[in-house]
Amino acid sequence: MGPLEGIRVLEMGQLIAGPFCGQLLADFGAEVVKIEPPKTGDAMRQWGRTDADGHTLWWPVIARNKKSLTLNLRDSRAQDIVKALVAKTDILVENFRAGRMEEWGLGYNVLSKINPGLIMVRITGFGQTGPYSDRAGFASVCEAMGGLREISGHPDRPPVRMGISLGDTLAGQNGFQGALLALQHRNSTGDGQMVDASIYESVLSVMESLVSEYDGGGHIRERSGSILPGIAPSNAYPTKDGGTIIIGANQDSLFRRLTALMGQPELADDERFRDHQARGRNQAEIDAIIGKWTQTKPAKELVDELAKVAVPAGPTYRAKDMLEDPHFQARESVTRVDDPTLGRSIAMQNVSPRLSASPGTIRHTGPALGQHTTQVLAEWLGYSDNEIARLDADGVI
């Protein structure tokens, strides 16, 4: 049994942030019912790269372990169905623009009266309060306002973005964390609550001491490419076979072991590099020396040699490398799951973190649109076949 076995979740989110929160809850055993618009479904059914037959390869991951219930939330009968479901729900996750749920008569003030124990996770760009709360907030914008974009990239070029929607996934993780904290509070008091998770604050929360450095010392972090200024050696270094490895040897003892392996032990006592501060001042110089050495050997040989002397190092992987790596294979970090739509199994990242007594599992990939509509309405609410058929004919489901 997963640790969230027996917890019922309604996911009313769309795209990435809310659905990623729902994915995490489902991974650890919660029964997650995803509410989608009839006919079209969540846009994530079309987003991302596809296989040769045109099937999206993102949907099987972000919707894994979930059930799909279609509801036209603009219809008052669908809104009544949501209210009935809420009475039997532990957690509701939504990431519509602030105020949209209230427009549908489904705000927390309404739903909490139906179920005082309800935990409502609300994920938006800028939160439920404040002058920006009604703004649309995609991850790209919120990553910039949360401080991430300004320090990403090289100093002589405009800010860059990561190749993933990092702000969305951070906000989904924040929502997941908030839901677990609220569950613990409910275990103690019996009361539910609202979890307000914004994308920009989720990004801000991982910005380390960026704000404090400015406030306390007037320091402004700038874009620094592949390094952290003053932290050396810790960089990406070229290899003989055209690859790149990451070496992190900025601690004095690590640097001494690295230079011994390089056959240049005298560097550890060189006044330019003999301690952390000195290496930070001469960062470009020591990186150039190490880069010259790494170019004499292929990546795998370098990583193996560095591992033997306990210097942190690793290759920069693509998906192919992950699938072939023996450590990934031994831990099943990437697993294969059968997908009926694709007609084959598909590789995806496994559940994380790992729990020793009640681990999460991947039970199935993303469902077909409306696959569980009849099941949920019948099992949760006791609807008859005739009632469900009528709702279908009227376009409510």
Task: Report the catalytic residues.
Answer: 168
List the one residue out of 262, 243, 261 whose CA is nearest residue 300: 243
List the one residue out of 201, 202, 203, 183 whose CA is nearest residue 193: 183
Q: How many residues does the chain have?
A: 397
Tell me how many degrees the CA angle 379-380-382 measures, rounded to the nearest 5.
65
Tokens read off for 163: 């190749």
Q: Where are the beta strands (DSSP E) in 47-154?
A: 66-70, 91-94, 119-124
Q: Measured between alpha carbons, how far is 203 from 168 in angstroms, rounded to an integer?
A: 9
Preceding omega of 155 cis (within 30 degrees of 0):
no
Instruction: Please say whether the beta carbons of 367 and 67 come within 8 A.
Output: yes
| Phi-psi group of 65: left, alpha or beta (phi > 0 → left; psi -120 to 50 → alpha; rest → beta) | left
| Phi-psi group of 118: left, alpha or beta (phi > 0 → left; psi -120 to 50 → alpha; rest → beta) | beta
Count the neighbouring beta carbons within 10 Å of the beta carbon of residue 20.
Answer: 26
List the one residue out of 211, 198, 194, 27 whose CA is nearest residue 112: 194
Phi and psi for 274 in degrees, rounded to 5? -75, -15
Q: State which amino acid sits at residue 276.
A: H
Instruction: Please say whether the beta carbons of 198 and 127 come within 8 A.
Output: yes
Q: Where are the beta strands (DSSP E) in 109-219?
A: 119-124, 193-198
Instruction: Please say whether the beta carbons of 375 and 18 come within 8 A.
Output: no
Q: Which residues share a beta bridge with 31?
A: 8
Tokens read off for 102: 């209230």
Residue 173, judged by CB atoms within 10 A of its CB (0-12, 13-18, 19+), counts as: middle
Helix (H) or strand (E) holding 188: helix 166-189
